[in-house]
Protein backbone atom coordinates (compact mmCIF):
# COMPACT_ATOMS: atom_id res chain seq x y z
CA UNK A 1 0.00 0.00 0.00
CA UNK A 2 2.84 2.44 0.76
CA UNK A 3 5.53 0.82 -1.43
CA UNK A 4 7.86 0.33 1.54
CA UNK A 5 10.88 -1.86 2.23
CA UNK A 6 10.84 -3.88 5.47
CA UNK A 7 13.76 -4.04 7.87
CA UNK A 8 13.24 -6.39 10.79
CA UNK A 9 10.45 -8.85 11.58
CA UNK A 10 8.10 -9.07 8.58
CA UNK A 11 5.49 -10.83 10.76
CA UNK A 12 5.11 -7.87 13.14
CA UNK A 13 1.44 -7.03 13.77
CA UNK A 14 -0.18 -3.73 14.74
CA UNK A 15 -3.72 -2.87 15.72
CA UNK A 16 -3.61 0.90 16.32
CA UNK A 17 -1.55 4.06 15.83
CA UNK A 18 0.60 6.03 18.25
CA UNK A 19 3.01 8.96 18.47
CA UNK A 20 6.63 7.85 18.34
CA UNK A 21 7.35 9.23 21.82
CA UNK A 22 4.34 7.45 23.38
CA UNK A 23 3.66 4.40 21.18
CA UNK A 24 3.31 0.98 22.78
CA UNK A 25 3.71 -2.58 21.57
CA UNK A 26 1.15 -3.38 18.88
CA UNK A 27 1.11 0.19 17.55
CA UNK A 28 2.32 1.74 14.30
CA UNK A 29 4.11 5.10 14.24
CA UNK A 30 6.38 7.13 11.96
CA UNK A 31 9.44 9.39 11.98
CA UNK A 32 9.59 12.33 9.58
CA UNK A 33 10.87 15.23 11.69
CA UNK A 34 14.59 14.88 12.59
CA UNK A 35 14.07 16.43 16.03
CA UNK A 36 12.17 13.28 17.07
CA UNK A 37 14.94 10.92 15.97
CA UNK A 38 16.04 10.07 19.54
CA UNK A 39 12.64 8.48 20.18
CA UNK A 40 13.30 6.00 17.34
CA UNK A 41 15.87 4.16 19.45
CA UNK A 42 13.69 3.63 22.52
CA UNK A 43 10.13 3.56 21.15
CA UNK A 44 7.95 0.63 22.19
CA UNK A 45 6.09 0.69 18.85
CA UNK A 46 6.06 -2.57 16.90
CA UNK A 47 6.44 -0.89 13.51
CA UNK A 48 7.93 2.49 12.54
CA UNK A 49 7.71 4.08 9.10
CA UNK A 50 10.88 6.04 8.28
CA UNK A 51 12.38 7.78 5.27
CA UNK A 52 14.64 5.82 2.94
CA UNK A 53 17.43 8.32 3.58
CA UNK A 54 17.24 7.99 7.38
CA UNK A 55 20.58 6.81 8.79
CA UNK A 56 20.57 4.82 12.04
CA UNK A 57 22.98 5.84 14.79
CA UNK A 58 22.25 2.75 16.88
CA UNK A 59 20.12 -0.44 16.77
CA UNK A 60 16.31 -0.20 16.67
CA UNK A 61 14.06 -2.83 18.25
CA UNK A 62 11.00 -2.02 16.13
CA UNK A 63 10.39 -3.32 12.63
CA UNK A 64 11.11 -0.51 10.16
CA UNK A 65 9.36 0.25 6.89
CA UNK A 66 11.45 2.55 4.71
CA UNK A 67 9.60 4.78 2.23
CA UNK A 68 10.41 7.88 0.20
CA UNK A 69 8.18 10.13 2.34
CA UNK A 70 7.28 8.81 5.80
CA UNK A 71 4.75 11.56 6.53
CA UNK A 72 2.80 10.96 3.33
CA UNK A 73 2.93 7.16 3.79
CA UNK A 74 1.56 7.47 7.30
CA UNK A 75 -1.21 9.72 5.99
CA UNK A 76 -2.15 7.04 3.43
CA UNK A 77 -2.58 4.47 6.21
CA UNK A 78 -4.59 6.86 8.39
CA UNK A 79 -6.85 7.61 5.43
CA UNK A 80 -7.41 3.90 4.80
CA UNK A 81 -8.17 3.35 8.48
CA UNK A 82 -10.70 6.19 8.41
CA UNK A 83 -12.30 4.81 5.24
CA UNK A 84 -12.83 1.45 6.95
CA UNK A 85 -14.50 3.19 9.88
CA UNK A 86 -16.73 5.25 7.58
CA UNK A 87 -17.80 2.20 5.59
CA UNK A 88 -19.34 0.82 8.76
CA UNK A 89 -21.61 3.87 9.03
CA UNK A 90 -24.71 3.15 6.94
CA UNK A 91 -28.38 3.84 7.52
CA UNK A 92 -30.70 6.55 8.80
CA UNK A 93 -30.89 7.30 12.49
CA UNK A 94 -34.07 8.54 14.10
CA UNK A 95 -35.35 11.08 14.76
CA UNK A 96 -34.41 12.81 11.52
CA UNK A 97 -36.31 14.44 8.65
CA UNK A 98 -35.79 13.51 5.01
CA UNK A 99 -38.08 15.06 2.40
CA UNK A 100 -39.82 12.55 0.16
CA UNK A 101 -38.54 14.67 -2.73
CA UNK A 102 -34.90 14.24 -1.72
CA UNK A 103 -32.74 11.74 -3.58
CA UNK A 104 -30.35 9.55 -1.59
CA UNK A 105 -27.53 7.45 -3.05
CA UNK A 106 -26.40 4.05 -1.84
CA UNK A 107 -24.61 3.34 1.46
CA UNK A 108 -25.56 6.73 2.88
CA UNK A 109 -25.44 7.48 6.61
CA UNK A 110 -27.67 10.18 8.09
CA UNK A 111 -27.28 10.90 11.79
CA UNK A 112 -30.08 11.70 14.21
CA UNK A 113 -31.68 15.17 14.22
CA UNK A 114 -30.49 15.91 10.69
CA UNK A 115 -32.76 17.70 8.19
CA UNK A 116 -32.65 16.93 4.44
CA UNK A 117 -34.80 19.37 2.45
CA UNK A 118 -36.77 19.06 -0.78
CA UNK A 119 -34.88 18.28 -3.99
CA UNK A 120 -31.62 17.69 -2.15
CA UNK A 121 -29.46 15.16 -3.99
CA UNK A 122 -27.14 13.10 -1.79
CA UNK A 123 -24.50 10.98 -3.55
CA UNK A 124 -23.20 7.51 -2.77
CA UNK A 125 -21.32 6.76 0.46
CA UNK A 126 -22.05 10.20 1.90
CA UNK A 127 -21.78 10.43 5.70
CA UNK A 128 -23.97 13.05 7.35
CA UNK A 129 -23.40 13.30 11.09
CA UNK A 130 -26.12 14.36 13.58
CA UNK A 131 -27.70 17.81 13.52
CA UNK A 132 -26.73 18.65 9.94
CA UNK A 133 -29.03 20.87 7.84
CA UNK A 134 -29.14 20.39 4.06
CA UNK A 135 -31.24 23.02 2.28
CA UNK A 136 -33.53 22.90 -0.75
CA UNK A 137 -31.84 21.85 -3.97
CA UNK A 138 -28.45 21.16 -2.42
CA UNK A 139 -26.26 18.68 -4.34
CA UNK A 140 -23.66 16.63 -2.44
CA UNK A 141 -21.21 14.41 -4.35
CA UNK A 142 -20.02 10.89 -3.55
CA UNK A 143 -17.91 10.06 -0.48
CA UNK A 144 -18.41 13.46 1.13
CA UNK A 145 -18.47 13.78 4.93
CA UNK A 146 -20.43 16.43 6.84
CA UNK A 147 -19.60 16.52 10.53
CA UNK A 148 -22.08 17.53 13.27
CA UNK A 149 -23.78 20.87 13.01
CA UNK A 150 -22.84 21.71 9.41
CA UNK A 151 -25.39 24.00 7.72
CA UNK A 152 -25.69 24.06 3.93
CA UNK A 153 -28.13 26.64 2.60
CA UNK A 154 -30.33 26.21 -0.47
CA UNK A 155 -29.00 25.52 -3.97
CA UNK A 156 -25.36 25.13 -2.94
CA UNK A 157 -23.26 22.45 -4.60
CA UNK A 158 -20.75 20.25 -2.78
CA UNK A 159 -18.41 18.02 -4.79
CA UNK A 160 -17.13 14.51 -4.18
CA UNK A 161 -14.62 13.52 -1.50
CA UNK A 162 -15.23 16.75 0.39
CA UNK A 163 -14.89 16.97 4.17
CA UNK A 164 -16.64 19.76 6.10
CA UNK A 165 -16.06 19.91 9.84
CA UNK A 166 -18.43 20.74 12.67
CA UNK A 167 -20.24 24.06 12.84
CA UNK A 168 -19.34 25.34 9.38
CA UNK A 169 -21.97 27.32 7.44
CA UNK A 170 -22.05 27.12 3.65
CA UNK A 171 -24.19 29.59 1.74
CA UNK A 172 -25.20 32.20 4.33
CA UNK A 173 -25.95 35.62 2.88
CA UNK A 174 -23.05 37.74 1.72
CA UNK A 175 -22.49 41.06 3.51
CA UNK A 176 -24.28 43.26 0.99
CA UNK A 177 -25.90 46.52 2.14
CA UNK A 178 -26.45 49.65 0.06
CA UNK A 179 -25.97 52.99 1.92
CA UNK A 180 -29.06 55.22 1.78
CA UNK A 181 -29.38 59.01 1.84
CA UNK A 182 -30.79 58.91 5.37
CA UNK A 183 -27.66 57.11 6.65
CA UNK A 184 -29.43 53.74 6.85
CA UNK A 185 -28.55 50.61 4.88
CA UNK A 186 -30.72 48.65 2.48
CA UNK A 187 -30.02 44.93 2.22
CA UNK A 188 -28.98 43.70 -1.22
CA UNK A 189 -30.56 40.26 -1.77
CA UNK A 190 -27.97 37.49 -2.15
CA UNK A 191 -29.45 35.20 -4.79
CA UNK A 192 -26.33 33.28 -5.89
CA UNK A 193 -24.91 30.13 -4.35
CA UNK A 194 -21.69 28.43 -3.21
CA UNK A 195 -19.88 25.80 -5.26
CA UNK A 196 -17.33 23.59 -3.51
CA UNK A 197 -15.45 21.37 -5.93
CA UNK A 198 -13.96 17.90 -5.35
CA UNK A 199 -11.36 16.99 -2.72
CA UNK A 200 -11.82 20.14 -0.65
CA UNK A 201 -11.51 20.12 3.15
CA UNK A 202 -12.99 22.85 5.34
CA UNK A 203 -12.33 23.14 9.06
CA UNK A 204 -14.71 23.81 11.94
CA UNK A 205 -16.75 27.00 12.32
CA UNK A 206 -15.82 28.43 8.94
CA UNK A 207 -18.27 30.56 6.94
CA UNK A 208 -18.51 30.66 3.17
CA UNK A 209 -21.06 33.22 1.96
CA UNK A 210 -23.28 32.80 -1.07
CA UNK A 211 -22.75 35.10 -4.04
CA UNK A 212 -24.88 38.15 -4.66
CA UNK A 213 -25.25 36.90 -8.25
CA UNK A 214 -23.42 33.88 -9.63
CA UNK A 215 -21.30 31.70 -7.34
CA UNK A 216 -18.75 31.81 -4.56
CA UNK A 217 -16.31 29.06 -5.59
CA UNK A 218 -13.85 26.91 -3.65
CA UNK A 219 -11.97 25.02 -6.33
CA UNK A 220 -10.76 21.43 -6.20
CA UNK A 221 -8.10 20.43 -3.72
CA UNK A 222 -8.30 23.60 -1.61
CA UNK A 223 -7.82 23.22 2.16
CA UNK A 224 -9.38 25.72 4.57
CA UNK A 225 -8.60 25.74 8.28
CA UNK A 226 -10.96 26.51 11.19
CA UNK A 227 -12.57 29.93 11.70
CA UNK A 228 -12.18 31.23 8.16
CA UNK A 229 -14.43 33.80 6.49
CA UNK A 230 -14.90 33.65 2.71
CA UNK A 231 -17.12 36.47 1.47
CA UNK A 232 -19.57 36.61 -1.43
CA UNK A 233 -18.36 36.01 -5.00
CA UNK A 234 -14.85 35.05 -3.87
CA UNK A 235 -13.00 32.50 -6.03
CA UNK A 236 -10.42 30.34 -4.21
CA UNK A 237 -8.07 28.56 -6.63
CA UNK A 238 -7.10 24.90 -6.85
CA UNK A 239 -4.91 23.45 -4.09
CA UNK A 240 -4.79 26.72 -2.17
CA UNK A 241 -4.36 26.42 1.61
CA UNK A 242 -5.62 29.00 4.11
CA UNK A 243 -4.74 28.90 7.82
CA UNK A 244 -7.08 29.72 10.70
CA UNK A 245 -8.72 33.10 11.38
CA UNK A 246 -8.05 34.41 7.88
CA UNK A 247 -10.58 36.32 5.82
CA UNK A 248 -11.10 37.06 2.13
CA UNK A 249 -13.37 39.97 1.22
CA UNK A 250 -15.95 40.02 -1.54
CA UNK A 251 -15.24 39.40 -5.23
CA UNK A 252 -11.54 38.71 -4.71
CA UNK A 253 -9.91 35.99 -6.81
CA UNK A 254 -7.23 33.91 -5.10
CA UNK A 255 -5.08 31.89 -7.51
CA UNK A 256 -3.90 28.29 -7.50
CA UNK A 257 -1.44 26.90 -4.95
CA UNK A 258 -1.58 30.02 -2.78
CA UNK A 259 -0.49 29.62 0.86
CA UNK A 260 -2.07 32.02 3.36
CA UNK A 261 -0.86 32.16 6.97
CA UNK A 262 -3.08 32.54 10.03
CA UNK A 263 -4.98 35.79 10.65
CA UNK A 264 -4.19 37.14 7.19
CA UNK A 265 -6.76 39.40 5.57
CA UNK A 266 -7.42 40.25 1.93
CA UNK A 267 -9.51 43.23 0.82
CA UNK A 268 -12.22 42.91 -1.81
CA UNK A 269 -12.12 43.16 -5.60
CA UNK A 270 -8.45 42.25 -6.07
CA UNK A 271 -6.58 39.24 -7.48
CA UNK A 272 -3.81 37.13 -5.93
CA UNK A 273 -1.42 35.46 -8.38
CA UNK A 274 -0.82 31.70 -8.46
CA UNK A 275 1.67 30.37 -5.94
CA UNK A 276 1.72 33.48 -3.75
CA UNK A 277 2.80 32.96 -0.12
CA UNK A 278 1.10 35.33 2.31
CA UNK A 279 2.70 35.55 5.74
CA UNK A 280 0.62 35.30 8.92
CA UNK A 281 -1.21 38.49 10.01
CA UNK A 282 -0.57 40.16 6.66
CA UNK A 283 -3.07 42.67 5.30
CA UNK A 284 -3.26 42.50 1.50
CA UNK A 285 -4.68 45.74 0.11
CA UNK A 286 -3.86 45.50 -3.60
CA UNK A 287 -3.58 42.85 -6.28
CA UNK A 288 -0.54 40.58 -6.40
CA UNK A 289 0.33 40.21 -10.07
CA UNK A 290 3.61 38.25 -10.07
CA UNK A 291 3.23 34.51 -9.37
CA UNK A 292 5.16 32.47 -6.80
CA UNK A 293 6.20 35.45 -4.69
CA UNK A 294 6.04 36.01 -0.94
CA UNK A 295 4.50 39.01 0.83
CA UNK A 296 4.27 40.09 4.44
CA UNK A 297 3.16 42.96 6.68
CA UNK A 298 0.19 45.29 6.80
CA UNK A 299 -0.13 46.65 4.22
CA UNK A 300 1.61 43.63 2.74
CA UNK A 301 4.53 43.94 0.35
CA UNK A 302 7.54 41.92 -0.81
CA UNK A 303 8.69 39.55 1.93
CA UNK A 304 12.45 40.26 1.61
CA UNK A 305 11.82 44.01 1.69
CA UNK A 306 9.71 43.48 4.80
CA UNK A 307 12.56 41.67 6.54
CA UNK A 308 15.00 44.46 5.66
CA UNK A 309 12.54 47.07 6.94
CA UNK A 310 12.07 45.15 10.18
CA UNK A 311 15.84 44.93 10.65
CA UNK A 312 16.16 48.70 10.19
CA UNK A 313 13.26 49.31 12.58
CA UNK A 314 14.92 47.23 15.28
CA UNK A 315 18.10 49.29 14.85
CA UNK A 316 16.40 52.70 14.95
CA UNK A 317 17.68 53.63 18.45
CA UNK A 318 21.26 52.92 17.40
CA UNK A 319 20.77 54.73 14.08
CA UNK A 320 19.34 57.73 15.92
CA UNK A 321 22.40 57.85 18.18
CA UNK A 322 24.76 57.61 15.21
CA UNK A 323 22.96 60.45 13.42
CA UNK A 324 23.09 62.59 16.56
CA UNK A 325 26.85 61.91 16.83
CA UNK A 326 27.34 62.82 13.18
CA UNK A 327 25.39 66.06 13.63
CA UNK A 328 27.56 66.95 16.62
CA UNK A 329 30.73 66.17 14.66
CA UNK A 330 29.56 68.36 11.74
CA UNK A 331 28.80 71.24 14.12
CA UNK A 332 32.29 70.96 15.61
CA UNK A 333 33.90 70.91 12.16
CA UNK A 334 31.89 73.96 11.05
CA UNK A 335 32.83 75.79 14.23
CA UNK A 336 36.52 75.01 13.69
CA UNK A 337 36.26 76.18 10.07
CA UNK A 338 34.71 79.48 11.11
CA UNK A 339 37.34 80.07 13.77
CA UNK A 340 40.15 79.48 11.24
CA UNK A 341 38.64 81.84 8.67
What's the rounded Cα separation, in Å, for the pair 249 and 170? 16
Catalytic residue among 121, 154, 232, 269: 232
Catalytic site residue 232?
A: yes
Work out whether strand 215-218 and strand 235-236 pair parallel, antiparallel, or are unpaired: parallel
Nearest partner of 138 among 165, 99, 90, 168, judged by Cα: 99
How far from the centroid of its chain's Cα atoms is residue 277's Cα? 13
The phi and psi torsions of 214 (rounded to 5 degrees) equal 90, -140
Number of H helices, E strands in the chain: 4, 38
What's the rounded Cα separation, in Å, for the pair 325 and 156? 67
Q: How many residues are recorded in the chain? A: 341
CA atoms within 13 A on the CB side of 82: 12
**What's the order of all strands across the beta sheet hosting 259-260?**
91-92, 109-110, 127-128, 145-146, 163-164, 201-202, 223-224, 241-242, 259-260, 277-278, 294-296, 301-302
Count the neighbouring beta carbons within 10 Å of the beta carbon of residue 236. 30
**Paired residues of 196 in beta bridges:** 158, 218
What does the DSSP 8-state code read for residue 116? E
What's the rounded Cα separation, in Å, for the pair 229 and 208? 6
Which residues have a catalytic role annotated?
232
Amino acid sequence: MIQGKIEGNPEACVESFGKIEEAKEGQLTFLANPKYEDFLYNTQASVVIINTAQELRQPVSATLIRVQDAYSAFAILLTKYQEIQNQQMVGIQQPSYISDKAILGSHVFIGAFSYISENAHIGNNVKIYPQVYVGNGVVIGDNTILFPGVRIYHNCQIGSNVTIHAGTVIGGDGFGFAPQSDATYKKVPQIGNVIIEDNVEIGSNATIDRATIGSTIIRKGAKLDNLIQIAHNVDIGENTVIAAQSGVSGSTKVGKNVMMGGQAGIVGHIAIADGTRINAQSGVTKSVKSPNGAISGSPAFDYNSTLRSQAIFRNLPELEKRIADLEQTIKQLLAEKESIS
